[in-house]
Amino acid sequence: MRDRIETPRLTLRRLRGDDAGALSALADDAGVARMLTRMPHPCPPEATAAYIRGCEGEPWVYCVTLAEAPIGAVAVEARLGYWIGRPYWGRGYAFEAASALVDAWFTASDTPLETGVFADNPASRRILARLGFRETGRRLQASLGRPEPDDYITMRLDGDDWRAARRIDRAEQEE
């Protein structure tokens, strides 16, 4: 666990109380909330502030920042989770942030990671597959951002699969 994780374009740092306004503005988007299980929509600043207070002392919860401005969050709280605000979609930031946290996780521990993704979120499924996650099952999953439970894919990553995915990703980058 580190207080900060640097990537070529992003900084992952501890959540702070003053992040609530910026993160709430980005999170108050139905397209973002519907892809997550615990984010309400609408997402008032009070809900974001309460989440940040609840994360105090959690070792694997980070604010994703670009040039010091919050653009999303990434965490391991029983499961890997991440989100990036819509203005920043399509630029590889979600993969970069999730990859950095997964790398830090497996550098510190060999405990497997679990996560999940709604079936109608192909972008996140591609990110998780690129990280080495494998599908372990499907179920209906409730979400605070959806009117009813929906098809959800559960996934898992162990240290060996992570190491194999890192080798493949590095080889593709060198080509």
pTM of whole model > 0.85? Answer: yes
C-alpha distances out from residue 79 to 67, 117, 155, Å: 27, 11, 10
Is 78 or 92 the better-scoring residue by pLDDT? 92
Using one digit for the tens of pLDDT, what is the confidence trace for 117-141?
999 999 999 999 999 999 999 999 9
The confidence band for 165, taking pLDDT boundaries of 50, 70 and 90, is confident
- Collapse the DSSP code of 134 into the 3-class scheme (helix H, G, I; strand E, B; otherwise coil) and give the result: strand
pLDDT cut 90: percent of the chain above it = 77
Q: What pLDDT was estimated at residue 170?
A: 67
Q: Domains in the chain, ordered, with CATH?
A: 4-174 (3.40.630.30)
How many CB atoms sit inside 10 A of residue 175's CB? 4
